[in-house]
Amino acid sequence: MSDDTTHFGFEKVKTTDKARRVADVFHSVAAKYDIMNDLMSGGVHRIWKRFTIEMSAARPKQKILDIAGGTGDLSYQFSRIVGPEGLVVLADINDSMLSVGRDRLTDRGVAGNIEYCQADAQYLPFPDNTFDCITIAFGLRNVTDKDLALRSMFRVLKPGGRLLVLEFSKPTNPVMEKMYDQYSFKILPFMGKVITNDADSYRYLAESIRMHPDQETLLSMLEDAGFSDCEYHNMTSGVVALHKGLKP
């Protein structure tokens, strides 16, 4: 694939068009995003995110960046951990998702130690060595240049800080993989049509998962970006993986 083309799901598109196409998807699904997450995963996404919080080793007074933070599931938990002397930045490239996240966290009484930032993961608008921890949950697969984004995350992490990438991955069980394919390409678009009146966006989400690097490839990408002590943990038979890397 040439430098001026990339994948949008299974479709080949101009690199300059991908961000707009992804933005259209999330503008469309933002209002019903949380409902669909619960329905799509049977609520299991909450367990995946809880494990991410545990692996973050977040502590009071820390600064944490939640990239592609969407409706704020992780940011809410981090705000409780870092306390009034800490800071959580909920960042998302999509203003519709950011708006839903801001409203949702405000309704839950979160204030004082959280900021909101519309930002592209490839070009994070923060000084070097700013954050103790960075998370990106179900967002990396939508980034046009993942290597560039990982280097950007590395730059804004403090030495000793950690990156956590929670993302759909490649199932390790052949039976699970077959069931997952049937679910992704038959049931998921149908649910999207019924709940959000948008089957195409959920068809794209299923395709984007298949185009995302597998566990070992993403591990190598973290190492190439400069991270050390890289590892990953499969969950739900590899349907989801949590990758971790430290900044030396």
For the annotated binding site, the residues are 71, 92, 120-121
43 CB-contact burial (10 Å; exposed 0-12 / middle 13-18 / buried 19+): exposed
Residue ranges of the binding site for S-adenosyl-L-methionine: 71, 92, 120-121
Tokens of 40: 């799509």
Among 177, 179, 205, CA closest to 191: 205
* Cα 117 from Cα 88, distance rounded (Å): 11
Among 37, 6, 92, 17, CA closest to 202: 37
Give residue 59's identity as a one-letter amino acid code: R
CB 97 within 8 A of CB 30: yes
* Cα 228 from Cα 160, distance rounded (Å): 10
Tokens of 144: 């046009």
